[in-house]
Amino acid sequence: MKKLTAIVALSSVFTLAICFVVIGAVSIELKTALGIGNSEIGTLVLTLFLTACVTQLIIGPLVDKLGHKPIAIAGFIVCSLSIFLLGLASDFRIALVAAFLLGVGAMCVNTVGNTLIPVVLFGGGDPARASNFGNGFFGLGLIMTPLIVPAFAKYNNALFCIGAGLLIFLLFSFLASYPKVSTGFKFSMAIKLLGKKPVLIAALALTCYISLESTMNTWIKSLMAELLENTGNSNFLTHAGFVLSLFGVCMMLGRFLSSTIKNLTKIGVGVIAAASLVSMLAIILMIVAKSYVLVIVAVIIVGFSFAPIFPIIVGVTFARFEAKFYGSIFGIIFSIGLLGGTFVPQYVGYLAKEKTIQQSLWIAVIMAGLLFVAALIMGRLNSK
């Protein structure tokens, strides 16, 4: 049964990735089918992340009250239904409802996955390493979703296939046994923990990071479609989806590689600082590059540099507190962090109404720079 618990934890973060990338993976197809533009795609992402931000604060107490099992079951069901609804959407309003449900389901599986992983992997002794390995399966979700879409003649059928696939994970969630883990977000505890500088800085760092990852998940396919369409490539939609999957490959490989580093928690802050600086330079290359080949190179660099950041922020922050505080800490930093994913991709879509996606990515450069500053502050706090 312990193996089934690990499967549920890993499939939860895999499903979370699907929820976060699926709108970007079908963004071009949705624009054609629903008669919408980049701004509306940004609004769908805003709806997803704003819903997730609020839901994250509710799910923690429910896990404390009900346990992991019902939240895992509910998460896989809601995620599956929301993806089916997105495939059935005939107008923008229905797509908005699907985005709302995606936010609810995503936070169910997010809470289950990211609070079980540090406990069930590596004996619970190296949370940053465990989080990197576990979230490698998040990268796998980023890979597979964009690859599935062009494999079908209609994007609707691809979404139906993905939604049906999540029901397999639902079966595992019924059969698994779950350890007793303190996971709940407690408002009284949150007020006390918000006064702790490591928690506050981690929340700000996650705000920057999630804004970056969600921007790439949402806009890489549209960016590549813009560039490849101008080359006369008749299969530009398929190839643009492949580049988004390539981003996921780099994220997955980077996290699995990071998980091989022992005592990653001790050197994690330096890794965050270096990765954020590299990602900032890569995004600048993505913006100024005249060749789509250089943009693909930038996507690869961004994927590898992004890979360890989220797990290390979580792991390093957890390491400063007792395990009984993990749930409240995760609830705080992730809820605040989701604000970055809520507004930054939407702002890129707003700017892209008048410009290209490529010209609208400067906000991501700023967020990467702020993440670098946050890492430096984390380092100073850890040295005390």
The string of pLDDT tens digits covering residues 229-287 is 777 766 777 888 899 999 999 999 998 888 787 777 788 899 999 999 999 999 999 99
Q: How far is CA 336 from CA 117, 235, 333, 366, in A?
A: 21, 39, 5, 18
Q: What is the CATH number of the domain that holds 150?
A: 1.20.1250.20
Does any domain span residue 78? yes
User: What integer is the mean pLDDT of 168-173?
Assistant: 93
Answer for the pair 27, 86: CB distance below 8 angstroms, yes or no. Answer: no
Q: How far is CA 312 from CA 42, 60, 345, in A?
A: 28, 21, 23
Within a domain: 177:
no
Please give the tally of structural domains in the chain.
Answer: 1
Contact yes or no for 145/232 (Cβ under 8 A): no
Q: Would 178 be classed as within a structural domain?
A: no
Q: Is residue 180 part of a domain?
A: no
Q: What is the pTM of this model?
A: 0.88
Count of Cβ atoms closer than 10 Å to residue 305 Cβ:
25
Query: CA nearest 182: which of 279, 280, 283, 324?
Result: 324
In a domain, 127, yes or no: yes
pLDDT tens-place string over residues 111-151: 899 888 878 877 666 666 777 788 789 889 999 999 999 89
308 three-class SS: coil
pLDDT of the residue at 185: 65
Residue 228 lies in a domain: yes
Provide the domain limits for residue 192. Answer: 2-172+188-383
Question: How many percent of the chain have pLDDT more than 90?
Answer: 61
Across the chain, what does the average pLDDT equal? 89
Is the pLDDT confidence value at 18 over 90?
A: yes
On whether residue 14 sits in a domain, the answer given is yes
